Amino acid sequence: MSAPTTMSDAAPADALHPYALTLEYDGSGFSGWQRQPGRRTVEGTLLAAIAAVTGEEVRLTAAGRTDAGAHAHGQVAGCSLRRGWDPGRLRAALNAVLPADVVVVEAAPAPAGFHARLDAVARSYRYVVMSRGERSAVARQYAWRVRGPLDLAAMRRVAASLVGTHDFAAFGRSPRRGGSTTRRVDSVRLRQLALAERRGIAPQSAVVIEVVADAFLYGMMRSIAGALVAVGLGRMRGEQLAALVQRPPAQRPPLPVAPAHGLHQWRVTYPQTVTR
């Protein structure tokens, strides 16, 4: 294989071939998305796979940066290659060298200048909570186990107060220093799923919290999930949570933050002009 092509000797931008890669990954064995020296990350793993397949060193853009231990079902990464590839062949070639916990589920041509984060118009995350007294061997890496029943009605009532355009500074920080903390939340839905019943054990359930927004602050989804669960367990009043978006405090309060392993990045939406 020829030596990797670096951006310094890359072709002019209009001669590059941009692609959008939709990824699924199990975040259990990664230190998050962003490449970090000496750590196994999703970005670093994908960059190594692209270099191995294409012989090119590229820059990636990503729709979002997942935390260490968080999972993705529809993460989107953008890259540009000097050589044009059939999308199906590019996907197959990358999957042949990627480890078992990362999969390219789709590769598609993208418009010139495609940026996976800046071009996105909506994102959705799901958070899974298990109301279960005993530990789970299967769900331990993919759901947050809490003890005691959750008051789903109370959680739904306060979730409605999060919908709309608000200052979410109490729930996270901007990806840019001094950037806006205002975000538009389109919907917050909570679904309860019944788990298999076993003789002699009380019925168990899981709650899926899904939030769709134009964009998320760092830590925003985990803070929303943690606060909603606190309401569901009776450890926080719904009015307290609602007040955080109605009257944002001057300083970020110590909200309960849900652990990363229950977080699932679900989908990214782009305008029709962006082909995925």
pLDDT digits (tens, 9 = 90+) for 83-128: 999 999 999 999 999 999 999 999 999 999 999 999 999 999 999 9
pLDDT digit string, tens, across residues 177-236: 889 999 999 999 999 987 766 665 556 679 999 999 999 999 999 999 999 999 999 999
So which residues are the catalytic ones? 67
Tell me the domains of the chain and their CATH numbers. 7-118 (3.30.70.580), 122-268 (3.30.70.660)
Give me the DSSP letters along 32-57. -SS--TTS--HHHHHHHHHHHHHSB-
Strand partners, 72: 25, 265
* Cα distance between residue 189 and residue 202, in whole Å: 26
Q: Which long-range contacts (CB under 8 A, 24 or more apart) does 245-252 make?
A: 245/161, 245/162, 245/166, 245/167, 245/168, 245/170, 246/161, 246/166, 248/166, 248/167, 248/168, 248/169, 248/170, 249/169, 249/170, 252/169, 252/170, 252/173
Q: How far apart are the first and last CA of the chain?
A: 29
Q: In this structure, what token pair is assigned to residue 21?
A: 């890669």
**CB-CB contact of 77 with 44 (8 Å):** no
Structural contact between residues 215 and 120, judged by C-beta atoms closer than 8 angstroms? yes
pTM of the predicted model over 0.85: yes
